Amino acid sequence: MLKKLDYKKCNGLIPVVVLDANSKALLMLAYTNEEALEKTLSTGYAHYWSRSRNKLWLKGETSGHTQKIKSILVDCDYDALLFIVEQKGNVCHTGKDTCFHNKLEC
């Protein structure tokens, strides 16, 4: 199935939606590339590609707020992933439990 993943649509990246395995809360949206996904699969911990720093990063490498992979699902077009994780600590760099904590007023 790894060979079916479509990295071309986003210039070598695939968006990753991250869900907490216990609470089912939506935690964050990140991006992976082939290298980051290989590290995720080999270590069992979420690795992503940082678009702002232009480098591979292990979630929690500085904060200790890691994400242990419980399951990975692939969407029907093979161009997006869902990581189901066991989150240790807060997920957001702001200290929040989720990155989706700002409400857009319509």
Element (H, E) at 35: helix 34-43
Nearest-angstrom CA–CA distance, 49 and 47: 7
Where are the chain's structural domains? 15-106
Structure confidence at residue 3 (pLDDT): 87
> Model confidence over 8-38: pLDDT tens digits?
999 999 999 999 999 999 999 999 999 999 9
How much is the pTM? 0.94
Burial of 17 (0-12, 13-18, 19+ CB in 10 A): middle
**Low-confidence residues of the chain: pLDDT under 50:** none
Confirm or reject CATH 3.10.20.810 for domain 15-106, answering yes or no: yes
Q: Which residue type sits at 54?
A: N
Structure confidence at residue 5 (pLDDT): 95
Q: Enumerate the H helices of 1-106 as residue ranges.
A: 34-43
Structure confidence at residue 106 (pLDDT): 87
Structure confidence at residue 75 (pLDDT): 97
Structure confidence at residue 72 (pLDDT): 98
Q: How many CB atoms lie within 10 A of CB 45?
A: 18
